[in-house]
Amino acid sequence: MDLLAPIKDHHSERRLFIGRIVLSAFIASLLLGTVVARLVQLQVFDHEYFAERSQGNRVRIEAVPPIRGLILDRRGRVLAENYPAYQLELIPEQVADLDDTLRRLAAADLIDAADIPRLTEAAAAGLRFRPVTLNPRLEDAEIARFAVQRPRFPGVDFKPRLVRYYPHGQAVAHAVGYVGALTTEDLESVEASRYAGTSQGGQTGVEASYEFELHGYAGYRHLVTNARGRQIATDTSDVLDTLPPDQPPAPGENVYTTLDLDLQLLASRLLEGRRGAVVAMDPWNGDLLALVSAPSFDPNLFSVGMSPDEYRAMLDNPDNPLFNRAVVGIYPPGSTIKPMLALAALETGATNLTRKSICRGFFTLPNNTHRYRDWKPEGHGAVDIIDAIAESCDVYFYEIANEIGIDNMHRYLDEFGLGRKTDVDLKRESEGLVPSTAWKRERFRGRDPSEQRWYQGETVIASIGQGYMLATPLQLAVAAATMATRGERYRPRLVAAFENPLTGERRMLGSERVGRVSIDNSFYWDSIVQAMVDVLHGDRGTAREAGIDADYPMAGKSGTSQVFSVAQEEEYNEEELEERLHDHALFISFAPVDDPQIAVAVIVENGSSGSRVAAPIARAIMDEYLGYGDEKR
């Protein structure tokens, strides 16, 4: 063992220590250099980028919804506008005791007590500085009542807003429609940028069909906020000057309808207390002059919001005021189709202008004892086709029905616009039905062959607008207009023009001719139109009382359609039936005969008689439009 061996190598340890110092210094210098380089990059080279990002965190873009366009009648009178209203709002962070505040507001009749749980949940779910709407529509009395109690409700105030307002309410509801809250499905089907900040859209009528034109385009504005998103009041010129300018919203276009407000209001009054519809149109271009369904509803309730109880009461109403009878309602057209069938019979040779039949009050098919009864039990005696229309003789049409044939009936009535959608510019429309042999085979496909077969008796019933036959009041108006023009049929429309609210520039829409009845014999047309004149002006016309003392010649046809079938051995006794089982009353007409300017279709549900109930309504409508109304005499 070497006793002189060194215990510690100071030289090696010193060299190792210096190496570690150098390595540490290098690493520290490298890290420091990286930090410095990153700082230089952030502060110098990327300064503009991050300054812009920080500005974005400070500035919030808020959507500004557009002002909805006006809806006006053909003379520029307002049917729908935007009206300032007030809603009650609460800012949660400014309310010390939310439950107590809501209870006291309910006690003051400013909110519904049943809404308190929902409002409490809404206040807790959102940001505490965002207002919560407590009552979307404050009446003047409520505003006054709250104003004197405002000191008792810190954090609660009323704020103005624009709501859709319909100055003529129920009279225009089914034609103009209404706006309502947009659903999730609605928002998925629209352009998001256009509807930013928008909570309502058109739901029915013109409001829905022309939503694109009426809505406009949303704008935006820049707001300076703090880190929590709260808007702050400060001098923002240094911030906002570096941003693009605010984009103002583009208002929706004003829509000019074809409606005549005077006619619309009159039709609404004439149907007051009834269930039914009135459609009036210009036969030469399809302009709808009046479109009324009764009973109606107040569209203002939808734009400002209604309570669940109010909405439930509307839905549960047995008269169904939300149902648009004029366009969606379908009814057996009854005898109103007889002029069209008469033309078809003449054109196909099923009858002629001199053929007479003896009406004994009933008709039977060969080898069949079933009696098809006329509305007049004692019969009409000897009648030709002109008499059969003027007096509405069912037996005459029973006799010629199978000579015309159901397929010819289908063909010609289709040309008059029956049994098909008119393509009116509304979202919903019923198709109606004019049956045919092909229709029945398809309708009852898969059943016993006997159920698919078309029977003679079904043709007989169809000849007076019963059986499978169904039509809407709008289709009947189109058919009446086509009679007025001697076969020219136009697509009905509710809108005639759009107007830019900023420039006043108008964009007109043209009318659309959609077909012509394939009957060119002018003598046939003149003869059948004269028969319709005799309905109102003839000595034996069914609606002669409605045509008394008329200042102009009118043409028309009454109709009465059964609500239920009467057995062969039974008699129809209206007095023993409840009101909703009475026959429907119908009437179609146009005037003046030599220069038609208006065609009208009227249906009064359970009105019993087209001549006594529906015809006077049509007469009043035509008087008003042609300048012979009571107040204009």
Cβ atoms of 156 and 104 closer than 8 Å: no
- For the chain, the distance separating the N- and C-terminal CA atoms, rounded to the nearest angstrom, is 148
Q: Which of 525, 335, 205, 614 is nearest to 622 (CA)?
A: 614
Whether the upstream peptide bond of residue 131 has omega within 30° of 0, thus cis, is no
Tokens of 97: 């005791």
Cβ atoms of 483 and 555 closer than 8 Å: yes
Cβ atoms of 617 and 602 closer than 8 Å: yes
Q: Residue 127 and residue 122: Cα distance in Å, rounded?
A: 10
Q: Residue 391 and residue 29: Cα distance in Å, rounded?
A: 114
Cβ atoms of 529 and 554 closer than 8 Å: no
Burial of 558: CB neighbours in 10 Å, binned 0-12, 13-18, 19+: buried
How far is C-alpha 606 from the chain's CA centre?
A: 25
The reply to whether 335 belongs to the active site is yes
Burial of 378: CB neighbours in 10 Å, binned 0-12, 13-18, 19+: exposed
The count of other CB atoms within 10 Å of the CB of residue 416 is 28
Cβ atoms of 464 and 559 closer than 8 Å: no
Q: List Cα–Cα distances, 219 to 71, 188, 210, 212, in angstroms.
A: 22, 20, 20, 16
Q: List Cα–Cα distances, 442 to 446, 447, 452, 467, 621, in angstroms.
A: 9, 10, 8, 17, 41
Q: Which of 290, 257, 251 is nearest to 500 (CA)?
A: 251
Q: Residue 620 and residue 589: Cα distance in Å, rounded?
A: 12
Tokens of 599: 């065609």
Tokens of 165: 């307002």
With b meaning 16 or more CB within 10 Å and e meaning fewer, what string describes 152-167? ebeebbbeebebbbbe
For tokens 């008003």, the residue is: 624
Q: Are strands 254-257 and 71-72 parallel, antiparallel or unpaired?
A: parallel
Instruction: Catalytic residue, from 209, 268, 335, 436: name it.
Output: 335
H or E element that contains 405: none
DSSP reduced 3-state for 240:
helix
Cβ atoms of 348 and 524 closer than 8 Å: no
For tokens 């309310």, the residue is: 95
Question: Cα dihedral sign for 517, 519, 525, 527?
Answer: negative
- The partner residues of 288 in beta bridges, in order of sequence, read 281
DSSP reduced 3-state for 46:
coil
What single DSSP character describes residue 69? P
Cβ atoms of 379 and 391 closer than 8 Å: no
H or E element that contains 362: strand 362-363
Cβ-proximal residues to 461 (8 Å cutoff; 6+ apart), any chain: 372, 467
Which residues are the active-site residues? Answer: 335
